[in-house]
């Protein structure tokens, strides 16, 4: 009985060793994971950025031509900053300027006359 267990163990060990020898290093790499490696993923909210060509007063109180042109310039600056920082890998500032651009765009479209 004991000899059967030993024989079975030897046969099983030999089979595993044979499979391991023929598998090669490529398949072993699949089983081994590097310890302590973490890949962080950056999530940014995509925004469409188009700049207004002209902005002027639409008759909203407090928004004359000068104010609307200033808001348009702030929107353009924020849009260009978003593109610049995101393209250079600074996703935090890119996301921040994307939000500023969205707010300025909303202010423009709600209070000013915008002509593309």
**Residue 31 pLDDT grade (very low, low, confident, very high; cuts 50, 70, 90):** low
Q: How many residues belong to the chain?
A: 116
Question: Averaged over 1-12, what is the pLDDT?
Answer: 50
pTM of the model: 0.56
Strand 54-57 and strand 112-115: the pairing is: antiparallel
pLDDT the model gives residue 27? 47
Question: What pLDDT is recorded for position 36?
Answer: 64
Residue 29 CB-half CA count within 13 A: 3
**Contact call for residues 111 and 63 (beta carbons, < 8 A):** yes
Radius of gyration (C-alpha) of the chain in whole angstroms: 32
Domain ranges of the chain: 54-115
| Per-residue confidence (pLDDT) for residue 17, from 0 to 100 | 52
More confident residue, 102 or 22: 102
């Amino acid at each position: 009985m004991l000899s059967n267990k030993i024989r079975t163990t030897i046969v099983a060990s030999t089979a595993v060793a044979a499979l391991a020898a023929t598998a090669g290093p490529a398949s072993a790499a699949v089983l081994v994971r590097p310890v302590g490696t973490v890949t962080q993923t950056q999530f940014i909210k995509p925004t469409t950025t188009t700049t207004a060509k002209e902005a002027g007063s639409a008759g909203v109180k407090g928004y004359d031509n000068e104010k609307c042109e200033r808001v348009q310039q702030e929107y353009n600056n924020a849009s260009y900053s978003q593109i610049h920082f995101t393209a250079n890998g600074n996703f935090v500032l890119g996301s921040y300027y994307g939000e500023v651009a969205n707010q300025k765009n909303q202010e423009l479209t709600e209070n000013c006359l915008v002509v593309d």
